[in-house]
Amino acid sequence: MRIRDIIEGKKEWRAHVARVKALPQDYQIVYREIQKYLFKVGPVQLTDGTGLLSGIIDLFEEGAALGKGVLEVTGSDVAAFCDDLIKDSKTFADIYQESVDQEVNKAMKKVTDKTK
């Protein structure tokens, strides 16, 4: 990674944080919980800049502009809202599961090859 990429990434993140801080308080609270949830669940696309998170802010800015409360935008089950956002995304858990399955399959193949 080049220095310029790091600097650009920091600028992008600061602009992102400024957008969050400009949201109404209820939106900020829910956004922070969504962010924590997504970081724990681990969709791979979260590591590619702020794309998904920026999309959430876009949605929140639109909801706030229409005078909606945040839970009118997300629904009362915020975790389900998050899961729906990433349902087609690969997560780090998926990658780990695939690697475990591959390792087990390799090991089992070695065992079965030896018994033949």
- pLDDT tens digits for range 34-80: 999 888 877 666 555 567 888 899 999 999 999 999 999 999 999 99
Question: With 90 as the cut, is the pLDDT of residue 102 above it?
Answer: no
Q: So what's the pLDDT on residue 44?
A: 64
Q: What pLDDT score was predicted for residue 1? A: 60
Q: What is the pLDDT of residues 6-31, one digit of tens each?
A: 788 788 889 999 999 999 999 999 99
Close Cβ partners of 54 (under 8 Å, ≥ 6 residues apart): 16, 19
User: What spatial distance separates the first Cα and last Cα of the chain, rounded to whole Å?
Assistant: 49
Q: Tell me how far apart the alpha carbons of residues 70 and 63 are, in angstroms, rounded to a whole number.
A: 7
User: One-letter amino acid identity for 3?
Assistant: I
Quickly tell me which residue has 């349902």 as its tokens.
87
What is the reported pTM?
A: 0.71
Interatomic CA distance for residues 84 and 11, integer angstroms = 29
